[in-house]
Structure 1
Amino acid sequence: MFQHRTSAARPRISGRRRRALLAATAAGCTLVTLAACGAPGSGSGSPGDASPTAVNTAVGDTPATLTLFSSAGLQAYEQDLADAFHAKHPKIKVKLRVEGDNNFNTVLPRLLASGSAPDIVQPYDLPGGVKAGLLTDLDAYDKAYGWASKVPASALAPGRVSNGVIGGGSLYQAGGSAGPLVGVFYNKELAAKVGMTKPPASIGELEAVMAKAKRTGITPIVASNQDGLIGHLYNLLLGNYMGAQALSDLVHHKPGVTLDTPAAVEATEVLHKWIKAGYLASDVNALNQEASYGKFTGGKGLFFFQGSWITQTLDKNFKGKYGVFPMPPTEKGGLYAGMTSNTLAFSIAARSKNKDAAALFLDFLTTPEAAKVAVKNGYAALTSGSDGEAKPSLSGTMTQQIQAGYAAIAADNGFDSWLQNSAPEVNTKLIQQLQLLVSGKVAPAEMVKTLQTTYSKALKGS
C-alpha cells in the first residue's frame, strides 16, 4: 500500500534516502512563527481516533515520549529534527524507530495497523493510508495552530486527501516547507560572454539569451536524454504553461483532469522549437546523466535544467563557477512554478497514543529551528517570505540563489510535481516520447495525446 519513498525528481539517481540534496537557506532568514493557542478539552490521545475534534495545544510541559518511524536513509536528518524539538520542549522526547530503506515500504503499513504503531510517520501513498484508516485527520490541529497561514497552500496540498485524491479536502500530512529547487543552472563565464547580468524574467527573455549563445558558438542547453532527463525541462515548461495547480491535479489523479490541453501542447511546442533551433547538443539522445554532468562542468554549455541535488555530484573544481535561478514564468511578472518534494511534512498515525504531542512536533516543523535543521541536511527551507527573499538574482552565493528561487516559487504557491509521478507507465512512455521528439519522429500535439492515452489506461488499470 505504501510506496518506498524515493525522489522522483531524479530518475535513475539514488533516492533522497541515500544522499541529502545540497541546498540551503540564506544566512539570517527566518520563518514566520505564530504562537500556538491553547485549546480546551481532554485532548485526542485515544488510539484509533482518526478524526479528532477536541485537541490540546498546551502540551509542551507535559512529559511524553514520541516514536518517529524513520528509514535508514533519512535517519540523520530526522534525528536532528528530533533533537532540535527536544531542545525546545525538554519534557517531550522523540525516539526514532529505524528501518532499512529496502524494508520500509513493507513494514510501514503493518506497523501502522498494529497495537504498537509509531506516533509520527512520513508515508508516500497518502490516499492508501487514509482509506485504510491508518492516518489522523489533522484539520482540528490545522485550525488550532494556524498551519494554513504559515505554509504555502501548494506545499500543504500534497498532504490533503478527498475521496482518494490528493490536493484538496482534509489535511493528513503537515509541517513546514523544505525541499530541493529544480531550476536553471548556468555557467558564470559563459553567461558573462553573452551579457546575461540578471535572471531572465520570462520565457521570451530566456529564449533571447539562448539565441545569443547559439550565435556566439555556445551550446545553450546541456542535457541528457538517453535516460529522459530532458524531462526536468519539460516538466518546468508544463508547470508554466498549464499552471502549477493543473499539473499537480493531473499527477494526483483528480477526476476529469487531462493532459491533452492547448496549454500542454504549447509547452511541448516550446521544447520542440528549442530542439529544432539547435539549443540542445545534437547528440543529446545518446548522452546519459553522468556524461551531461561532465559536459556542464567542462564548459560545454550555458544552461543545465536540473535540481539542487546536483551540487553534491558536480566536479568540486567547478564550485563557484556556476549559479542557479528558477525557471522564469511564461510572461514577465507571471507566476513562478517548479517541482519539489516536501521533506518537512509528516503524518500522525491513527493509533498514536500521543496525538497532541505529535501535533506539537508538526507545528515545530514550521519554526526557524526546524528550517535550520533542513538547511544543515542539505535542503532549501521556506523562510519568512519577505519580498527581498523572493527575488532571484545572479549575485550572492549558491546557497542564497537556491533559497531565493525556492522562496519565489513558494510566494506564488507554485510548487508542483513531476508528470512521471502520475504513473509508472507514464514515466516509461515519457522517456520514449522525449527521445522521439528530439529525433523529429513525433509532433508536439501527437506526443501529448500519446501521454494522455497512457495516463488514462494507467488509471483504469490501477
Structure 2
Amino acid sequence: METNRSARRRAAALRTTARHTARPTMAAALLAVLALLVSACGALTPGSEADSGRPRTVPRSTVVPDEDVTLKLTFADAPVMVDALIVAFHKKHPNITVEPSYTQFADYVKSIKLTMASDSAPDLAQFAVGMDDIAARGDILDLAPYRDAYGWRAKFPAANLDQLTGSGKRAASGKHLYGVPAGLSMTGIYYNKELAKKAGITHPPRTLAEFEGQLAAAKKAGTTPLGVGALDSGGLHLWAALVNNMMPPKDYRDWVKGTPGATIKTKGTLAATKKLAEWSRKGYFDDSANGTAQVDSTGQFTRGESVFLINGNWAAGTLAEAMGKKAGFFLMPGTRPHARAVASGFSVSYAISSRTRHPRAAGAFLDFLGSREAAKIVSANGFLPPDEKAVPIPKGVLGEVARAHRRVTADNGINHFPDFTAPNMLDPLRSGVQKLIAGRVTPSAYLDSLQEVWAGRHTE
C-alpha cells in the first residue's frame, strides 16, 4: 500500500512540475480566455443590474460558523498538496468539509470563467492570473476586509498579496484583494557544482559581470554554459531575470499592471535585452536552444550537458533527486554587489466565489493557508511556503532555493511574470526572445513590439 501511495505522489509531482515548467504559456492562456469572455459580457460589469443583488465583498468578521458546512473547491495545481491541506484544515475545523474538484489545467483554462459565472459555481477556486478581469464580472469577492480582520499582511509576503490586488483600469484604487497565496514560485539559476569546479568556478557570482565571466569560463572549458529551453518558457525566464535586475521593480510592476504612462522601453530594459542577444552571439546557449523545451533543457542539465540552467523552484525537487549535492542555485545577480534581490514568481492562489453561501467558512480556509501547519505541507510538496519561518530550511539545493526566496521576500523583490501584462503578450514575448537568440530582431525593435501590445491593452 505504501508503495502505491508513493507512486501516486510521484506521478502527481511530475504533473505539477510539467505544469509549472510551461508556466508563462498557461498564464497567458488563462488571461486570454478571461479577457475574451469579459469582453463578451459587458452587461455583467460591476455596478450593472445583472449582478447588483450579489455581494461584492466578504464580511468583516473572523467568526467561523458552528454549523456543518460543505465547501466546493475547484483547482488545477498540485493535487497531492491540496488534498493534504484539506485534511489538515478539517482537523482544525471538523464541521467544515472541503470537497475538491481537480481539473487538468488545459480544461480548467477553458471552463473556469463560465464555471465561476454559473449559479452552480464552487465556493473556492484557484486563480493564478487575471484577477482584475474576473473581478470585473463580479464573480469573486473582494477579500480586503479579511486581509485586515485576519491580519494577512503579517502572514503573507507583501509582494505576493500585491500580485493579487486589483489594479489598472479595472480597479482604480488597487486596494481590492482577490486571492490568497498558498505555495509560492520563483525563478533563478541552477548550476552543476562539479562542472563549475572543472571550469574554475568556485562560488556563485556576486554581480552580473562576474556571472558573465563564469559563462565565458564554462565555454572555454568545452561545456555549454547556460541551458535555455527557449521553445516555451526558458528564454522568457532569462530575459525577465535580466530585466528584473536592470529595471526598477516599481517601474516594472507599473508596466505589468497597466499603470498609465508605464513603458518597457527604458535604458535598463534595452541594456538587459542587448545582454541576452550578446550572450547568444558569444555562444553561451546551445545552438538548439530555440528548439528545446524547458523540460528538455532541465533533463540535459541533470545529465551534465550544461554548467548553468535557467528554471524555477518547481524543478528543485527533480534536480535534488537526480543530482544530489552536485546541484546548486542562485538568483540572477545584479549589476553591483549586494544589490536588491529580485526574481520572477507568482503563487498557487485561491479566491472566494461571489455566489458562495459560506463566505466565513471559505475565509477560514484561506486564513489557514497562512498557518504553520499549511507551510509544512506546502514545503513538503516542493513549493515555497508564505510563512518561511514555519519550516526548517531543507538541505542541499532545496535549501539554497529557500534561502534565496527569503532574500527576495525580505527585499520585496518578487515580480510578476511579464506575460501577465496582457492576454496576448505571451507570443510576442516568447517569439521575440527566440528572434533575439537567432539574431533576427534588434533589441530596440523587440521592446517596441512589447510596448505596442501593452498600449493595445491598457490605453483607451
TM > 0.5: yes
Q: Note the C-alpha offset of 1:234.
A: 0.6
Matched position secondary structure for 2:85? helix
Q: Note the C-alpha offset of 1:88.
A: 1.9
Structure 2 residue 198 is the aligned partner of structure 1 residue 193: yes
Q: Distance in 1 between matches of 2:265 and 2:220?
A: 35
Structure 2 residue 358 is the aligned partner of structure 1 residue 359: no
Counterpart selection for 1:368 from 368, 372, 377:
372
Q: Distance in 1 between matches of 2:117 and 2:230?
A: 42
Map of 1:380 onto structure 2 = 384
Q: Distance in 2 between matches of 1:90 and 1:338?
A: 39
Q: Check 1:134–1:431 CA distance in 2 against 1; reply closer, same or farther (3 A cut).
A: closer
Map of 2:407 onto structure 1 = 408
Matched position secondary structure for 1:156? helix
CA contact (8 A) 2:341 2:413 kept: yes
Q: Check 1:332–1:107 CA distance in 2 against 1; reply closer, same or farther (3 A cut).
A: same
Identity over the aligned pairs, expressed in percent? 29
Matched position secondary structure for 2:166? strand
Q: Distance in 2 between matches of 1:202 and 1:439?
A: 26
Q: Note the C-alpha offset of 1:161.
A: 0.7
Map of 2:85 onto structure 1 = 81
Gaps of 5+ in 1: 17-46, 390-394
Query: What is the CA RMSD across the aligned residues, in angstroms?
Result: 3.4
Q: Note the C-alpha offset of 1:101.
A: 4.4
Q: Check 1:57–1:289 CA distance in 2 against 1; reply closer, same or farther (3 A cut).
A: closer
Map of 2:344 onto structure 1 = 339
More helix by share: 2
**1:413-424 alignment to 2 at 5 Å?**
413-423=412-422
Q: Distance in 2 between matches of 1:348 and 1:159?
A: 13
Map of 1:270 onto structure 2 = 275
Q: Distance in 2 between matches of 1:331 and 1:175?
A: 34
Map of 2:21 onto structure 1 = 10
Q: Distance in 2 between matches of 1:281 and 1:72?
A: 33
Q: Note the C-alpha offset of 1:423.
A: 3.5
What code does the residue aligned with 1:449 have? D
Structure 2 residue 259 is the aligned partner of structure 1 residue 254: yes
Map of 2:139 onto structure 1 = 134
Structure 2 residue 75 is the aligned partner of structure 1 residue 71: yes
What code does the residue aligned with 1:400 have? G
Q: Note the C-alpha offset of 1:365.
A: 0.8
Map of 1:237 onto structure 2 = 242
CA contact (8 A) 1:251 1:419 kept: yes
Q: Distance in 2 between matches of 1:325 and 1:314?
A: 14
Please report the TM-score for the alignment, with normalisation by the length of structure 1: 0.79
Map of 2:153 onto structure 1 = 148
Counterpart selection for 1:284 from 283, 289, 302:
289
Please report the TM-score for the alignment, with normalisation by the length of structure 2: 0.79
Map of 1:25 onto structure 2 = none
Map of 1:96 onto structure 2 = 100
Q: Note the C-alpha offset of 1:401.
A: 1.5
Q: Check 1:406–1:441 CA distance in 2 against 1; reply closer, same or farther (3 A cut).
A: same
Q: Distance in 2 between matches of 1:8 and 1:451?
A: 25
Q: Note the C-alpha offset of 1:317.
A: 4.7
Q: Deviations over 1:334-360 (max 9, x none)?
A: 1111122211x3212222222222212
Map of 2:31 onto structure 1 = none
Counterpart selection for 1:49 from 36, 51, 55:
55
Q: Distance in 1 between matches of 2:455 and 2:167?
A: 20
Q: Note the C-alpha offset of 1:100.
A: 5.6
Q: Distance in 2 between matches of 1:458 and 1:169?
A: 18
Matched position secondary structure for 2:451? helix
**1:318-329 alignment to 2 at 5 Å?**
318-329=323-334
Q: Note the C-alpha offset of 1:10.
A: 3.3
Q: Check 1:322–1:166 CA distance in 2 against 1; reply closer, same or farther (3 A cut).
A: farther
Matched position secondary structure for 1:161? coil
Q: Note the C-alpha offset of 1:164.
A: 4.2
Map of 1:44 onto structure 2 = none
Q: Distance in 2 between matches of 1:288 and 1:206?
A: 24
Structure 2 residue 162 is the aligned partner of structure 1 residue 160: no
Gaps of 5+ in 2: 1-15, 28-52
